[in-house]
A and B are shown apart, each in its own frame.
Chain A
């Protein structure tokens, strides 16, 4: 199972957990799995069109998934997906 790192703003929905193990073969499946086990995350992570909320950036092993295959990027068993706020920097 891959590991998803949860930012502090979202940890209320994961019972305070910083790291959550989630099954899934792609970024899309991992995020769907995360939301399935922690439904409180849906409003923050998923846009009305089913895509990732534009204020969330997802990094697979420290690479922005938009530089890979976006939500269709394959995820391996030992991979780490980090979810971070988009509004930072500059």
Chain B
């Protein structure tokens, strides 16, 4: 069997044609608009509406965008997120940036039957520069951070963002301060350290870290990618939608399934598809949006199940899925809206199911996601059982981070925690064998 992998076109040169065309046109970025009250202000290093305290978001003139953005113009540009420049909240592609995006869609026809679905694509975002989708968001934030002239790039991280922020800061030449819960997975801590970041462990949950960072951002003026740069940062996740549509030949799937932590990615992917429809780049057809949360930290799934958009925060998350362990998700109510209005769902996934899903996708498709990917695949199966995913649906699952970041997760639920030595024909770690053919043959015959 041949595994089908779809990748966006990689021919042609640079996105400069778009940048120069955009600079000659009226402004496509019209300012920052409060999502709650609609008040608009000029683009600045700001994230809170001064009138109502609601979230500020960057607004676009899609008429101006349409003047230079077409299927054809995109096809002529180099791979990466900047090929969609007109729909990103920067004036031009930055001079220095990591090669982010244009990740493939993998046709998962071996995994699909185990989840009960007919057609399944995996958006393989494990292969971004720092091995997660966070590179998309941080690339935008870092570009804006340079424009705003902040003295340092910083973040409050559940793990993936730590590496992404540290890598982007290295690329643009800014110091990086990465705040993490002190008990984060060691691989994620080492990853951020490798890029030269100052990593600050905090004795508390992610929500404690986030609250502290809000105060630190006020006092230091550092550019926190997911706090005072959040209106720009969040927009980077829209490129997941653009790439999926382009890779599918400018059409949309029936169902998108992705992980939910703060909800910023989930809601921006939905918006990305909406923008493509408004621009006429894809035919407008319904997409159901399904989210996955770890059952041990599922405030959004709980709200969705209860039919409310009031999110009751989880004080002490209890899950191996550290990348989704946000008890107080900023965009939680908007995630509920997207799921409800699209006919989707938000599914709470037990850790054992997550671990099994990681093992299954790795052994059946050759793709090794971190825990959030396991949650996402668990959500595919759960949404199918619930009837949200139907016969014949084409499903795209977002695998947003690499399994090398959470190496212990796949062992959960294995006999003896995965320490049992493998026999011939079994997957697993064989016993140490002397370097002789007779010793190997003895093991092969079951004598050792």
Contact = CB atoms under 8 A, between A and B. Distances in A.
Interface of A: 5, 7-10, 12, 43-45, 53-57, 59, 62, 64, 66-67, 82, 84-90
B223 interface: no
15 contacts: A5-B215, A9-B48, A44-B50, A53-B53, A55-B48, A55-B55, A64-B211, A64-B313, A82-B211, A87-B48, A87-B54, A87-B230, A88-B330, A89-B210, A90-B263
A5 B328 CA distance: 21
A65 B38 CA distance: 28
A43 B51 contact: yes
B197 interface: no
A64 B261 CA distance: 18
Contact of B36 (A10, A55, A90): A55
A88 B50 contact: no
Interface in B39-68: 47-55
Q: Is the interface of A mostly helix, strand, loop or mixed?
A: mixed
Nearest 9 CB-CB pairings of A with B:
A90-B262, A87-B55, A89-B210, A55-B53, A44-B53, A85-B48, A88-B227, A9-B48, A90-B264
B53 A56 contact: yes
B313 A88 contact: no
Contacts of B54: 55, 87
Interface in B299-354: 312-313, 315, 326, 328-331, 333
Given A44-B53, A84-B214, 4 more contacts: A7-B48, A53-B53, A67-B315, A89-B227
User: Which of B156, B326, B330 is most buried by chain A, counting CB atoms within 10 A of its CB?
Assistant: B330
Given A59-B211, A62-B211, A85-B214, A90 B329 contact: yes
A5 to B, nearest CB: 8
Q: Is the interface of B mostly helix, strand, loop or mixed?
A: loop
B254 interface: no
A14 to B, nearest CB: 13
A9 to B, nearest CB: 5
Contacts of B118: none
Contacts of A44: 50-53
A8 B156 CA distance: 19
Contacts of B207: 64, 89
Contacts of A7: 48, 214, 218
A82 B330 contact: no
A85 B328 contact: no
A53 B36 CA distance: 11
B208 to A, nearest CB: 7
Contact of B47 (A12, A45, A53, A87): A87
Nearest to A85: B48
Contacts of B264: 90
Contacts of B313: 64, 66-67
User: Which of A12, A54, A90 is most buried by chain B, counting CB atoms within 10 A of its CB?
Assistant: A90
Contacts of B52: 43-44, 53, 55
A66 B299 CA distance: 13
B252 interface: no
Contacts of B226: 88-90
B47 A88 contact: yes
A44 B53 CA distance: 6
Contact of B262 (A59, A67, A89): A89
A43 B34 CA distance: 14
Nearest to A44: B53
A78 to B, nearest CB: 19
Given A55-B55, A85-B47, A90 B331 contact: yes
